[in-house]
């Protein structure tokens, strides 16, 4: 048994949720797991089984707000990690991120053993340098679990390695009515991953015409979008749920319709099938909803493929704008009927 282990995943909520299997593997052998998250991932970190404490710190080379990297900011992390006194740390990254800046700060904090995936030579910054063939496009959850295994942490017997959240979830029937609705989540953190609003409106109207009860979800800053998309007939919950309540709303759905964004991974973590409006700016093989039946809609061979663009580099956003509402309705029907298997 290891003492306290620090697991680092300072990205958005979806990234943190995908780290769940790796976190549970660490928790099976650690006396305590502390998860270092950014402000956009903290709520997801608090929902992960196996996490005992969450440490929040804005990571300048990852945080979208471009927080300055200063001596005092670095010293804050070094001091806070030093007080925790972890025996080991796992730095979880995506394939396009370097673990070495964080490894340096953790070394300065006195962490005796650090593991990470690193294509770059780490010198003395890493004790376990795990190498991954990035051309294979391994799903992110499996990629991170592979690092945990390389560091000596295995999932306990009976754990299938899927995404998961803490149970029980909050009661939300007073918001949604009885389970069995279709959730539509139109918001994204990056415009390149967004389905045009007029297409969302079309999909909601056609789902309702097909007899579905539609619930539209979104954050506080997405209330105008959810009101527009939901129109007069869908139930609009934009800005009305905490992250845990959103998980419960998604758990009560028969199917969730979302772009490549955090709630798609949250739906997977509560076991709900997903219709994914997936822009190919990142590989679907890595980032599609993991471990649940899903249907991907969108041209996965469009010119924007693999660009990692936040704003679509192709006029007209053809990879997603070509998808119509009727395709969403058909995909929802297939998933609700159990005609799709786990990818």
Q: Is 114 helix (H, G, I), strand (E, B) or coil?
A: strand
Q: Which residues, 6+ apart, have CB-to-CB distance to 273 below 8 Å?
A: 254, 255, 256, 267, 292, 293, 294, 335, 336, 340
Calpha distance 190→184 (Å, rounded):
17
Residues 56 and 189 in one domain: no
**70 shares a domain with 216:** no
As for how many domains the chain has, the answer is 2
- Nearest-CA neighbor of 30 among 47, 7, 9? 7
Give me 213's structure tokens. 């009860």
| pLDDT band (50, 70, 90) for residue 246 | very high
Instruction: Report the alpha-carbon distance of residue 271 to residue 248 in Å, rounded.
Output: 11
pLDDT > 90 fraction of the chain, expressed in percent and rounded: 85
Question: How many angstroms separate the CA atoms of 142 and 330, rounded?
Answer: 30
86 with 50, same domain: the answer is: yes
Both 290 and 183 in a single domain?
yes
Cβ neighbours for 131, distance < 8 A, ≥ 6 positions apart: 117, 118, 119
156 is a domain residue: no
Q: What is the DSSP letter of 87?
A: S
pLDDT per residue over 278-317, tens digit each?
998 899 999 999 999 999 999 898 888 888 888 888 888 8
What is the predicted pLDDT for the residue at 93? 97
Determine contact, residues 181/256, Cβ cutoff 8 Å: no
Whether residue 179 sits in one domain with residue 127: no
* Domain that includes residue 82, residue range: 2-150
pLDDT at 20 over 80: yes
pLDDT band for position 321 (50/70/90)?
confident
Residue 141 lies in a domain: yes
Question: What would the pLDDT profile of 254-269 be if each residue is shown by its tens digit?
Answer: 999 999 999 999 999 9
For CA atoms 304, 309, 313, 315, give the dihedral sign.
Answer: positive
Q: What is the CATH number of the domain that holds 55?
A: 3.40.50.2000
pLDDT category at 95 given cuts 50, 70, 90 is confident
Same-domain pairing of 120 and 187: no
Cβ atoms within 10 Å of 52's Cβ, excluding its own = 13
Residues 233 and 293 in one domain: yes
For the chain, what is the mean pLDDT? 95
Residues 190 and 125 occupy one common structural domain: no
pLDDT band at 3 (very low <50, low <70, confident <90, very high): very high
Average pLDDT rounded to a whole number, residues 134-159? 96
* Same domain (yes/no): 315, 178: yes
Alpha-carbon Rg for the chain in angstroms: 20
This prediction has a pTM of 0.96
Question: What is the model's pLDDT at position 313?
Answer: 84
Q: Given this model, what pLDDT does residue 343 score?
A: 60
Query: Would 166 be classed as within a structural domain?
Result: no
- Looking at residue 152, its pLDDT comes to 97
Q: What is the DSSP letter of 342?
A: B
- 322, 182: one domain: yes
* 170-190 pLDDT, tens digit each: 999 999 999 999 999 999 988
Residue 157 falls within a domain, yes or no?
A: no
**What tokens appear for 98 in the block?**
């370097």
């Amino acid at each position: 048994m290891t003492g306290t282990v620090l697991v680092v995943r300072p990205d958005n909520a979806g990234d943190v949720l995908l780290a769940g299997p790796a976190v549970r593997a660490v928790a099976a052998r650690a006396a305590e797991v502390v998860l270092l998250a950014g402000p956009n991932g903290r709520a997801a970190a608090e929902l992960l089984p196996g996490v005992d404490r969450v440490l929040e710190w804005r990571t300048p080379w990852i945080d979208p707000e471009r927080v300055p990297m200063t001596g005092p900011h670095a010293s804050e992390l070094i001091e806070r990690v030093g007080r925790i006194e972890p025996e080991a740390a796992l730095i979880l990254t995506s394939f396009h991120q370097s673990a070495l800046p964080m490894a340096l700060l953790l070394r300065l904090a006195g962490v005796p053993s650090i593991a990470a995936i690193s294509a770059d030579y780490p010198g003395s910054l890493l004790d376990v340098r795990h190498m991954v063939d990035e051309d294979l496009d391994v799903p992110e959850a499996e990629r991170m679990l592979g690092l945990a295994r390389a560091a000596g942490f295995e999932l306990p017997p009976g754990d299938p390695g899927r995404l998961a959240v803490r149970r029980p979830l909050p009661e939300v029937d007073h918001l949604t009515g009885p389970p069995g609705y279709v959730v539509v989540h139109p918001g994204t953190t990056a415009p390149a991953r967004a389905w045009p609003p007029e297409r969302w409106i079309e999909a909601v109207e056609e789902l309702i015409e097909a007899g579905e009860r539609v619930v539209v979800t979104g954050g506080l800053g997405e209330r105008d979008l959810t009101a527009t998309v939901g129109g007069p007939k869908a139930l609009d919950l934009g800005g009305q749920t905490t992250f845990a309540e959103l998980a419960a709303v998604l758990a009560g759905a028969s199917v969730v319709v979302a772009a490549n964004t955090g709630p798609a991974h949250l739906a997977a973590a509560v076991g709900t099938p997903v219709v994914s409006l997936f822009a190919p700016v990142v590989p679907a093989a890595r980032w599609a909803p993991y471990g649940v039946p899903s249907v991907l809609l969108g041209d996965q061979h469009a010119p924007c493929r693999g660009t990692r663009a936040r704003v679509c580099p192709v006029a007209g956003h053809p990879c997603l704008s070509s998808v119509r509402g009727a395709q969403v309705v058909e995909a929802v029907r297939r998933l609700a009927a159990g005609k799709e298997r786990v990818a």
